[in-house]
Amino acid sequence: MAKAQSVSPAFLGECDVVIIGAGIIGAMIARELSKLKGKFALIEKEAFPGFGVSKASLSQIHLPDFCPIGSLKGKLSANAPQRFKKLARELDLHYREVGEIWLALKQEHIENLWEAKKRGESNGARGYEIIGPEKIRQLEPYVTKKAIAGLYAKEPGVLYTPEWTFALTENAVQNGVSLYLGAAVTGIDKEDDHYYKVTTTRGQIRARYVINAAGLYSDEIAALLGDADIHLELRKGTMLIFDKSVSSLVRHMLFGTFSEKHSQDIAPTAHGNLILGVHYVKPRNKKDTSVSRENIEETFKLGKELVPALREKDMITSFSGILCTNNKASDGDFYIAPSEHAPRAIHVLAGAPGLTAAPGIADMVIRLLVEQGLKAEEKKVFHTRKESFPRFESAPLSKKEKMIASNPKYGHIVCRCEQVTEAEVINAIKRGVDTMDGVKHLTRAGMGRCQGSFCGSSVLKYLANTLGIPATKVTKKGAGSHHIVGYTKQGGESGAGEC
């Protein structure tokens, strides 16, 4: 019998810093690192940035009133709304300032408002106001009549996390960061005193510094680095999306009661829907994003307590996201620190509010890298802007006419629910999107009332034709998620790209 020959993994390159995980935090770190001279790489096991925890969130930018006094996450969340508004200008992204109101539905809840105010102000936030029932009704006409007091702050806002994660990643690549998608890490070995060899399913990268920003899988990356004592505790939360026809029911982020089993939260989204959450259960594993009827009913019940006019028939979809805490920090705090066993490796273990704290986390990680020996010399030229995605739906009529005149494909509506055009879908594909979910998250085609029932087949066709691949090769979210597995008639696979 012939002896099998081993095949050496492809060598992807050498860099100063490799970031493992292209969620919102990894993407933010990569973008900030790209301001410095050096070679940097961002690797992600999924087919698209932000396909993990980042896309399955409420996408809210909070004040640090959720964070314990003196906590690291409270410190890193300070001034978050201002940070995101600045980034929105630099990256030409949407940040929607909606404000937040903590509600007291019972007399004993009023103390919770003062405690939240104290936490926020101790962590550096300002602009809070305790308001009564009359002001609450003025701000939120449809809120429950049981609301007797509220804690109001104007600056918090909402954004669309998938779009932000893509934009940060794209801007980092624009400034020289190497991006490797579909690259799950399978091993990390210390080559010598200066380099690590990071083995992925796409090949190997040599790096002087390793940033573990792998989210739900950060404990597994930590173990590869020798820190086997790091463990994560997981909770799964159910969230509901409501049709835009009822968007007038809620104007601000509304918060009610909180416990280990729920976070009572209903708010507008960046694109005009309402989002409601969160009912928590224990997931079976890290990939358990299933949603049960019971989860939906319990979550809907939380929303009805705050806004009685909510109707179940106006729900258009539900989803779940997994939240984690770590065993290295107390009281649900972040753990961001150098490895205890691997020099020049940094662990980033961040649960909620990780999105809010992402800019602060990026700053801290770069400080830690400098302390570990990285030379932080800024580039003379840094490109702060990328080309934004023109949105046909939100454009005024005069701009729509110009868009169609410049490209007739803007005149062809693919997704009727969200008014997404053929030009937008093709633009997204040409900028790196190669999955159905990627198109959905960047263009919103399939995000509306019908959830892709009408536009799904068209999006699949555009992916196949633009990428020049058979329709059977188009996936929902990467390997193993094919939409079409075969043909019922001969000749269906007549050529790449035909659909």
User: Does residue 62 have an active-site annotation?
Assistant: yes
Q: Which of 174, 207, 160 is nearest to 12 (CA)?
A: 207
Contacts of 184 (CB under 8 A, 6+ apart): 45, 200, 201
Retrieve residue 154's tokens: 């104007």
Give the HSE-up count for residue 455: Cα atoms under 13 Å, Cβ half-sphere.
28
Closest residue by Cα to residue 263 from 293, 239, 290, 292: 239
- As beta bridge partners, residue 185 has 200
Q: H/E element holding 460?
A: helix 456-467
Cα(438)–Cα(466) distance, integer angstroms: 14
Run of H or E including 366: helix 354-371
Tokens of 465: 């034709």
> In 10 A of CB 478, how many CB atoms?
18
One-letter amino acid of 149? A
Q: Which of 62, 252, 271, 279 is an active site residue? A: 62
Question: What HEC string does 222-233 produce?
Answer: HHHCCCCCCCEE
Alpha-carbon distance of 79 to 64, in angstroms, equals: 9
CA dist 413 and 284 (Å) reads 40
Write out the two tokens for 324: 């984690």
Neighbour count for residue 274 (Cβ, 10 Å): 23
Residue carrying the six token digits 């954004």? 159
Name beta bridge partners: 179.
Answer: 42
Instruction: Name 478's Cβ contacts closer than 8 Å, sequence gap at least 6.
Output: 46, 47, 48, 51, 182, 435
The two structure tokens encoding residue 413? 């509506």
Give the H or E element holding residue 84. helix 80-91
Buried b (16+ CB within 10 A) or exposed e, 233-263: ebbbbbbbbbbbebeebbbbbbbbbeeeebb
Handedness of CA 111, 115, 116, 118 (dihedral sign): positive
Q: What distance lies between CA 74 and its chain's CA centroid? A: 20
For the chain, report the end-to-end CA distance as a whole number of angstroms. Answer: 45
Point out the residues that are catalytic: 62
